[in-house]
Copies of this chain bind each other. A is one copy, B any other.
């Protein structure tokens, strides 16, 4: 997508052909800063400290992390070390595990002398696959937006509510939840996005609003508390969110607060869709509420917040009283019963085991108990 009019990806190989270049997303929306990742430690730091975030981009960054590790030391020992190091950065992200295991499985049988080249080739391929996947998600989702527009007599703008950031910044390009929106805009459908702020890390207010604004998509930032009110008053045509992990029966683990929006959508008859690439489906689990461990992050993400002060510096301020304890659960699970449909690269399906298997029949044997 575009940044200041220039097509940009969230991760790209540097001109020197070996370092990976990412956007330091912790500086957005106030500063657009590119960072070079030159070794495994930097790639791990980029994931752990959330310079990059979003399941697909985490996967792509981990793949380049493996390549950078092989460039430094392609031994069996370092292959295992790199996989272990990257896996430990964000325990909830199934896409991270997928990318690291894919890389390890492909590199392990090779001799150390060819591992580096193979690793870079595979990392690039993972990126291209992600772009193609997201574009396909966008095309399937576009049809839902087109129908909503037609249902309104092609008069009113189509209002989409989204939570967190599942846009191109969370992937290599296009995004998952936002890909349909970019394609709708390209297709001349007037779309408007309600962007949930998404406390505590504010990915909606900072990243979603920034990337929509840079690409010229009309949008409005709202507090996380506001979505229910908007839905009660007919101001939301549909919700589209992303997911970090979807279970085999369609339970959706996504940023904390997603569940509350799904409840409001259900209560008001607003369709609630989830955009996801196949690799984020965890076929080994069914019941997301019971089986998905929820990451608890540093309480300072709640007690403090970072923004631009009046003299143009990025500054962190404390919001809570000295001594008040804080809790910070990072994700929640939206039960499949609240999800209208899953938008995948292969099409849209109900959030059920049958629905998912109709699109991914080859995964029948991956499921537990089958």
Given that A198-B225, A225-B224, A257-B224 are known contacts, is A317 also in contact with B319, CB under 8 Å in the complex? no
Give me 17 A-to-B residue pairs in the complex whose CB atoms sit less than 8 angstroms apart, sorted by A's number.
Answer: A29-B321, A30-B318, A199-B223, A199-B225, A205-B303, A205-B320, A209-B324, A213-B321, A221-B327, A226-B256, A226-B328, A228-B257, A229-B329, A259-B264, A309-B316, A309-B318, A315-B317
Q: Across the interface, do A328 and B223 meet the contact criterion of CB distance under 8 Å?
A: yes
Interface residues of A in 209-256 (CB under 8 A from B): 209-210, 212-213, 219-230, 232-233, 255-256
Measured between beta carbons, the chain B residues less than 8 angstroms from A321 are 28-30, 206, 209-210, 213
Contact with B along A311-335 (1 / 0, CB 8 A): 0000111111111111111011100
Is A294 engaged at the interface, CB distance under 8 Å to the other chain? yes
Is A202 engaged at the interface, CB distance under 8 Å to the other chain? yes
Q: How far is the CA of A319 from the CA of B203 in the complex (A)?
A: 10
Measured between beta carbons, the chain B residues less than 8 angstroms from A257 are 223-226, 228
Q: How far is the CA of A316 from the CA of B304 in the complex (A)?
A: 13
Q: Kindly name the residue among A224, A263, A320, A326 whose own CB sees the greatest number of chain B CB atoms within 10 A.
A: A320
Is A370 engaged at the interface, CB distance under 8 Å to the other chain? no
Q: How far is the CA of A316 from the CA of B219 in the complex (A)?
A: 24
Q: How far is the CA of A38 from the CA of B294 in the complex (A)?
A: 53
Given that A221-B326, A321-B206 are known contacts, is A332 also in contact with B232, CB under 8 Å in the complex? yes
Q: State the majority secondary structure of interface residues on A.
A: mixed
Give me the 5 closest cross-chain CB pairs, A-B, nearest first. Answer: A225-B257, A307-B317, A29-B321, A229-B332, A263-B263
Is A197 engaged at the interface, CB distance under 8 Å to the other chain? yes
Closest to A196 in B: B225
Q: How far is the CA of A100 from the CA of B257 in the complex (A)?
A: 39
Q: Across the interface, do A333 and B232 meet the contact criterion of CB distance under 8 Å?
A: yes
Q: Across the interface, do A223 and B308 meet the contact criterion of CB distance under 8 Å?
A: no
Identify 13 new A-B residue pairs, CB closer than 8 A, beyond the known A29-B324, A229-B331, A260-B261: A205-B320, A206-B320, A212-B324, A213-B321, A221-B320, A222-B326, A224-B224, A226-B256, A229-B332, A259-B264, A306-B317, A309-B318, A310-B315
Is A305 engaged at the interface, CB distance under 8 Å to the other chain? yes
